[in-house]
Structure 1
Amino acid sequence: MAIETLIAALARPTPASSDYDLNPDTVLAPGRVLRPAAVLVAVCEGRQGPEVLLTKRASGLKHHPGQIAFPGGKIDATDASPEAAALREAWEEVALDPALVRVLGRLPAHETVTGYSVTPILGHIRDGFVSRAELGEVQEVFRVPLSHLADLSRFRVERRIWRGEWRSYYAVPYGPYYIWGATARMLRGLAERLAA
């Protein structure tokens, strides 16, 4: 899949997404204030075609330990933009030099059950990147073929009890990696754009 295909997908209108998409009966507090965050959906060339860079969060973290995630985090006051925040976090978490990333654009914002509005930044990693996990935050850095993540049939809806109620969510497993929740929902949004 060519980078031009990803750029074309960015131009297709799709709505913002939410961890509540599959839970329409959830009543959200009016006037709730979401904290801004950004993640880098980084695509790089692999042996079998484009791949997406993902991380497995460290097991000792207070929030989301051991979960699969994009490099990213909250937007700091010193960040000039969501793009700047996503690139800074990728540098801190996996040693991705911002100079190696061509920012392609933004995907729609995603609201999480933990109170964040996450802006996914789609970027292309140029050749020469060797990841190095920041072990305080990241247990592992790995890549998943974009062809797997762009295939809507790979996504499934699962559910579990969360805060005393059943909550449905997307999952798109890959080998030993259980990709679910917000990360899977943002990836599904990209897959929907690519399929349009």
Structure 2
Amino acid sequence: MLSIPFPPVSVDPTAPASPCIRACRIDGDGLCRGCLRTGDEIACWSRLGEAERRHLMETVLADRKRERYRFLDRLREREQVGGVLHPLRHPPAGDGWNRSELDDLLPDAGALAEAAVLVGLVPRQAGTQVLLTRRTDALRHHGGQVSFPGGRVERDDAGVLGAALRESHEEIALAAVQVAPLGYLDPFLTVSGFRVTPVVAAIDPDYVPQPHPDEVAEVFEVPFEFLMSASHLHQVEMEFRGRRRSVLEYDWPGQRIWGATAAILYNLRRRLEEAA
């Protein structure tokens, strides 16, 4: 199995307190979609002292988060998973962790297209599930494959988080208010030339999938516990562009979960193992 040293998760402790996660958009309730501040609170933030900012973040905004994302408390792995992710305020930089595996396949780093996917964790009574999709066969990139909802970061998106939320809504009608972002995994590079940033989030279990027929053939769930077990993930050798290469694949019945999707889940599993 792959043995890759993932970059450390770090935050500058001297940075001023701010709840901004770069998903800036005022919703119909008058609150920013990302930080849950009102327009007035955002406008006066720079004039507040550090103690006032932290008080608002730890009380007022924390209460608003609990009210908006009531389902978040039902996610059993919330603290465990959240503790190993890059924080929402600091999307990870740099090349994908698998760059060395694809050096002879990819263009220069500057030519890579930015993309984002949503790794959705659904808290169910029987245990947490991971939300996955199967793409339609006609798509240009990775048609017919199992994937996370997501796609290319567009100019109007609020960064990778905004792209993941927009694409999830377009592909499977997942509303932003039903998504509680937790943090980022390490960027991953695809053979199609994308630098993908995975956004890990809790998803409201009341969400009802409505797949866009031109993009998504099926939406399904797989137990988180199954996907985080090393015994269910295998390394498969295959011939690709003139040489033998290794890809990861799960032995989940009925769906082939492999390639980039399996690698992103592997990244999460390894981070959890290293933190244990």
Question: TM-score of the superposition, structure 2-length normalised?
Answer: 0.65
Structure 2 residue 97 is matched with structure 1 residue 17: yes
Is the Cα contact below 8 Å between 2:106 and 2:193 reproduced in 1? no
The answer for the alignment partner of 1:85 in structure 2 is 163
Which of 174, 177, 181 is the aligned partner of 2:259? 181
2:83 match: secondary structure = helix
Greater RCO, 1 or 2 (C-alpha within 8 Å, sep 6+): 1
Q: Distance in 2 between matches of 1:72 and 1:188?
A: 18
Contact 2:107-2:193 within 8 A present in 1 as well: no
Report the CA distance between 1:16 and its aligned residue.
Answer: 4.3
Indicate whether 1:7 and 2:82 are aligned: yes
Structure 1: 4+ residue segments shifted above 4 A: 25-32
Mapped to 2, the partners of 1:53 and 1:178 lie a distance apart of 14
Q: CA RMSD in A?
A: 2.2
Structure with max Cα Rg: 2
Identity within the alignment, %: 37
Structure 1 unaligned spans of 5+: none
Q: Deviations for 1:71-129, whole angstroms, at most 9, x for unmatched residues?
A: 00000001011000001100011111111111001111111111110000000012320
What is the number of equivalent residue pairs in this alignment? Answer: 193
- Distance change >3 Å, CA 32–CA 76, structure 1 → 2: closer
Q: Would you tell me which structure has more helix in proportion to its own residues?
A: 2
Matched, 1:132 2:210: yes
TM-aligned CA deviation for residue 52 of structure 1: 0.6
Aligned-residue offset at 1:59: 1.3
What aligned pairs does 1:24-173 form with structure 2 within 5 A after superposition?
26=104, 30=108, 33-173=111-251
Moved more, 180-189 or 41-50: 41-50
- Choose between structure 1 and 2: higher strand proportion: 1
TM-score normalised according to structure 1 size: 0.90
Deviates more, 1:92-101 or 1:167-176: 167-176
State the SS of the aligned residue for 2:170: helix
CA deviations 1:132-169 (Å, max 9, x no partner) are 11110000000010001111221111122222332211
Q: Which runs of 5+ in 2 are unaligned?
A: 1-75
Q: For 1:17, what is the secondary structure of its paired residue?
A: coil
